[in-house]
Structure 1
Amino acid sequence: MSESVTMPALGESVTEGTVSSWLKKVGDTVEADEPLLEVATDKVDTEVPSPVSGTILEIRVAEDETVAVGTVLAVIGDPAEAAPPAPAAPEPATTTTEPAPEPAGAPEAAPAGQAQGAEVTMPALGESVTEGTVSSWLKKVGDTVEADEPLLEVATDKVDTEVPSPVSGTILEIRVAEDETVAVGTVLAVIGDPAEAAPPAPAAPEPATTTTEPAPEPAGAPETAPAAPAPGPAATAYVTPIVRKLARDKGVDLATVTGTGIGGRIRRQDIEAAAAAADEARRAAEAAQAVPAPAQAAPAPAAPARSAPVVDTALRGRTEKMSRLRQVISERMVDSLQTSAQLTTVVEVDVTRIAALRARAKDDFLATNGTKLTFLPFFVAAATEALKAHPKVNASINGKEVTYHDVEHVGIAVDTPRGLLVPVVKNAGDLNIPGLAKRINDLAARTRDNKVNPDELSGSTFTITNTGSGGALFDTPIINQPEVAILGLGAIRRLPRVVKDVDGGEVIAIRSVCYLALSYDHRLVDGADAARYLATVRKRLEEGDFAGELGL
């Protein structure tokens, strides 16, 4: 009995997905839960596992094709069932081979100044997508390319993907430059036989008035092209957009990576391993540089005080395009500042009692709950409780309407190698300290490992960012639209402060203090509202009455 593999629903608001690449082909055997294909949506890139064990009898959706959720992507079953579909396969094969001469014939009617051959057009990467942007060309004029070999990268408002070459041949002409946006169906390049590249050459000298000198120039261009196939080894094996992006984010040169996937395919694990090896090599080099320093510093006591930062050779002096995630972050941050009237109020909080409570409970907490007890759950608990008392801060604006939420879905900003992401702790107001600690640590870990689900990255009503983890005293965080406030947590420091003793007198004592910075939308929240909210949070933290939730 055969089993259908369908496009999964990768989020509540996701209605379609794009097949980035197939990890198996027709006739291959696959085990249950083994990665079968890679799918991309506007929110997440992920692998889709096989629902059953068996043989792949049919693949119905090609790579780079966008289909609706629930569409049958492939059929898996017993090898005996593969025989009947086989005769049906040649029929589409003949239909696909017949149009191939048509593009070749079309250029015959084209002007003499254009190359003749197979045309590469901007694909339709979704039902509602009408145009695409050429992100980068992976080949140049004069290069040879094989059928289905990646030719260029295209970006739309929904997906980033590679476009494979439809035929084998030589790139005769590139008509659309990088970063140029064109409509679906526009001819991007022409591929054909090298002999077909000659006709465009005479056409170029005509506007140049000198017909003899320009002729050698096109002939010289192909000579320089073969001299630059140094990046060629990286393109010999197909690399999926997901893996290519990860390599860029981690600064890994694909030409130095040996793939462990099927047919030598470079997979995500290979990039992560290469990045880890590079980090270890960098640390070893730093350690080697640091070892001789004390020997030289012995006669000069001032030398050990020098601690120069390590030079980042991966990005320094480099110009590159922003990743898709960085572009999205950029657009949303600028849009937020242009949408709402933002300002920030800051208060100082004494968290000495919480620091002492955490020190007492953290070891038993780890043994009992299997996760670490950080300061963050205490701040989230206090902030969430205060939202219930100050609904203006837990609201969202949509045009001229305001929604005051009756749930507390708290987004936690997480720094990842790819950029800033905000997973959401749903119904945070219903969780105690252990529940918050488990949920926050789990979400943060999976977000950094790119294993978080799309639904977990949306739906927040309020956001918290822990800028103090990097040592910052406080900052002015930007609101996550359409929310109306975001709370920034500053670094906890031990400082002298004036406090009251048991007799009510004032004394100077060393206390654990930090700053809380609330950025809010003045269209709805006034300064007094922000001050009252922060006062509620501060009171709850300074009281430090969380012992009951920790079993103390």
Structure 2
Amino acid sequence: MKEIRVPELAESITEGTIAQWLVKKGDKVEKGDPVVELETDKVNVEVNSDHAGVLTEILSEEGDDVEVGDIIGKVDENAEAGEAPSEEKEKPQEETKQKEAPAKKEEKQEEPATETSNNTQDVVASPAARKRARELNIDLGSIRANDPLGRIRPEDVEAAAKGESEKKAEKSAKKEAPKQQEKTEFDKPVERVKMSRRRQTIANRLVEVQHESAMLTTFNEVDLTAVMKLRSERKEKFLEKHGVKLGFMSFFTKAAIGALKEFPYLNAEIQGKELVLKKFYDIGIAVSAEEGLVVPVVRDADKLDFAGVEREIGNLAEKARENKLGLNDLQGGTFTITNGGTFGSMLSTPILNAPQVAILGMHNIQKRPMVMPDDSIEVRPMMYLALSYDHRIVDGKDAVKFLVRIKQLLEDPYDLLLEG
């Protein structure tokens, strides 16, 4: 019998939750086949089988929390699909032998016997212990012997069974607790839904950021008349030439990079008693996925042209929707842009994406009457911008001037597009 263990995932990830089993008990698997999907703090990963055979045991069910190294299933290399584990197939024959032997004779035959365990090492156990292990459906290879000679006795099997029973009882108690609370806390019907691991992580980190940073938000508004006119003029040729649509995100990404170059403290982070001023521009783009908000990163966005930015954002958004983002897609990032306007938000105060010290919030575009320099009134497509920043690093003056610079770049975007 071979084990399926939770593999090493990443340096910062030590545990996860079983999202779903991709095969059923009794199914045949090949070496390298994905057998279970594991939800971690950041992404979902597939765990592959290191062995070919039949999945005979599932030790962790969907929704269970597991840690790196935990055994979550077992594969029998000698079984056929739909068959019982090889140990169970031997059971009738061995039971017949036990019945034929007198009870007293069995007691005298307390001699060491060898049985192959799931880790291919020999297990020494008495016939009575083997029989009791079969009755309780306990794998001898998982039992620790107390005998000085390493021989497993019936009492060792009983102790292992008791331990398994206590674990199951504890899990059952945890599942029943919410039901009991539901009966006592509320007079009217409620529904309790377990938070996904990713949602729990998001919740914890958002609270941590507000506790550990001096977060402040400044606002401005931008007239998008020129951007919308430029998009209208260039969108067909842009699509024909590059195979991707010219959207708003490339304008905002390029404007943010231009402003970051002028105000480098907004592209920094605190490490101990030092400020780390980053000379590269990996821009995080917040994307709403089924399990919650994720922030994939456009690497070296300053080196990409508008088409490159649009293409990369589109690829990352598609991977987020299909739950195919990898850890490398999410790690790092020097500055984040979030677009609440996609859902109709008029104004908000975005929360920092630690350890970054600033985040730009976009919002809904609304036509509003605006007083022009010659005192005439025109209807213009306006958007409120919000910049949240860590006041420990960024002074209010620089934050306001940074947002004003973004506004200026967006209200005169032709040079921005030409220079890329």
- Return the TM-score normalized by structure 1: 0.52
Indicate how the Cα distance of structure 1 residues 317 and 22 shifts in structure 2: closer, same or farther if over 3 A, else same.
closer
Matched, 1:490 2:363: yes
- 1:89-488 aligned within 5 A: 89=117, 91=123, 93-96=139-142, 99-102=156-159, 119-121=165-167, 177=177, 318-321=190-193, 323-324=195-196, 325-488=198-361
CA-to-aligned-CA distance 1:374-417 (integer Å, 9 cap, x gap)? 21221111112211221111111234332111222222222233
Instruction: State the match for 1:127 in structure 2.
Output: none
Which structure exhibits the higher relative contact order, with contacts defined as CA atoms closer than 8 Å and separated by 6 or more residues?
Answer: 2
Q: Which has the higher helix share?
A: 2
Tell me how far apart the structure 2 counterparts of residues 6 and 105 of structure 1 sit (CA, whole Å). 23
Q: Closer, same or farther in 2 for the Cα pair 1:329/1:103, shift >3 Å?
A: same
Distance 1:404 1:59 in 2: 54
1:403 aligned counterpart, secondary structure: strand
2: distance between equivalents of 1:74 and 1:322? 27
Whole-angstrom CA distance in 2 between matches of 1:105 and 1:375? 62
Q: AA paired with 2:246?
A: L
- 1:318 Cα shift? 3.1
**8 Å Cα contact 1:7-1:67 kept in structure 2:** yes
Please state how far the C-alpha of 1:538 moved relative to its aligned partner: 1.4
Q: Which residue of 2 aligns with 1:208?
A: none
Point out where structure 1 has 5 or more consecutive residues left out of the alignment.
107-117, 124-133, 141-151, 154-173, 180-315
Output the CA distance in 2 between the equivalents of 1:103 and 1:9. Answer: 28
User: Deviation at 1:59?
Assistant: 8.8
Does the 8 A contact of 2:26 with 2:56 survive in 1? Answer: no
Query: Cα 1:105–1:421, aligned 2, differ >3 Å: closer, same or farther?
Result: closer
Q: Name the amino acid aligned to 2:398.
A: D
CA distance in 1 between partners of 2:382 and 2:162 (Å): 76
Aligned equivalents of 2:240, 2:79: Cα separation in 1:
50
The residue number in structure 2 matching 1:56 is 53
- Aligned partner of 1:431: which letter? L
Letter in 2 for 1:56: G
Cα distance in 2 for residues equivalent to 1:521 and 1:510: 35
* Secondary structure class of the residue paired with 2:166: strand
8 Å CA contact 2:44–2:324 kept in 1: the answer is: no
Q: Secondary structure of 2:266's partner?
A: coil
Q: Deviations over 1:307-339 (max 9, x none)?
A: xxxxxxxxx963425513333222222222222
- Aligned partners of 1:102 and 1:77: how far apart in 2? 28
The structural deviation recorded for 1:349 is 1.3
Does residue 528 of the first structure (1) align with residue 401 of the second (2)? no
- Pick closer, same or farther for the CA change 1:122–1:33 going to 2, 3 Å: closer
The range that moved more, 474-483 or 362-371, is 362-371
Q: Specify the alignment match of 1:283 in structure 2.
A: none
CA distance 1:8–1:94, shift in 2 (3 Å)? closer
Tell me: CA distance 1:94–1:12, structure 2 relative to 1, closer, same or farther (3 Å). closer
Task: Give the direction of change, closer, same or farther, for the CA distance of 1:518–1:322 in structure 2 (3 Å limit).
Answer: farther
For residues 37-87 of structure 1, the C-alpha deviation after alignment (integer angstroms, 9 at most, x for no partner) is 333444333323569xx9427999964763359x9x98899999xxxx997
Give 2:134's aligned residue: none
Give, as a single letter, the amino acid of the residue that structure 1 aligns with 2:53: I
Q: What is the match of residue 518 of structure 1?
A: 387
Name the CA distance, whole Å, in 1 between partners of 2:162 and 2:391: 63
SS of corresponding position for 1:486: strand
Q: Give a deviation string over 1:202-253, Cα, whole Å, max 9, x none.
A: xxxxxxxxxxxxxxxxxxxxxxxxxxxxxxxxxxxxxxxxxxxxxxxxxxxx
* Helix, strand or coil at the partner of 1:524: coil
Structure 2: which 5+ residue stretches go unaligned? Answer: 81-85, 88-114, 124-137, 144-153, 180-187
Partner amino acid, structure 2, of 1:346: F
In structure 2, what is the Cα distance between the partners aligned to 1:42 and 1:74? 25
Cα 1:416/1:43, change in 2 over 3 Å: closer
**Aligned partners of 1:120, 1:49: CA distance in 2, in Å?**
30
Kindly tell me: are residues 96 and 366 of structure 1, through their superposed partners in 2, closer, same or farther at Cα, counting changes over 3 Å?
A: same
**Alpha-carbon separation, structure 1, partners of 2:191 and 2:27:** 42
Q: Give the distance between the partners of 1:43 and 1:59, measured in 2 at CA.
A: 30
Q: Which position in structure 2 is the counterpart of 1:88?
A: 116
1:544 equivalent to 2:417? Answer: no
Q: For residues 249-293 of structure 1, give each alpha carbon's deviation from its aligned partner in whole angstroms, at most 9, with x where no partner exists.
A: xxxxxxxxxxxxxxxxxxxxxxxxxxxxxxxxxxxxxxxxxxxxx
C-alpha distance in 2 between matches for 1:33 and 1:356: 53
TM-score by length of 2: 0.67
Q: 1:433 to 1:26 in 2, by over 3 A?
A: same
Give the letter aligned to residue 202 of structure 2. I
Distance in 1 separating the partners of 2:76 and 2:347: 55
Please give the secondary structure, in 2, of the residue aligned with 1:533. Answer: helix
Question: AA paired with 2:38?
Answer: V
Secondary structure in 1 aligned to 2:259?
Answer: helix
Which amino acid in the other structure matches residue 379 of structure 2? I
Question: Aligned residues, how many?
Answer: 345
Give the superposition deviation at 1:479: 1.5
Give 1:329's aligned amino acid. I
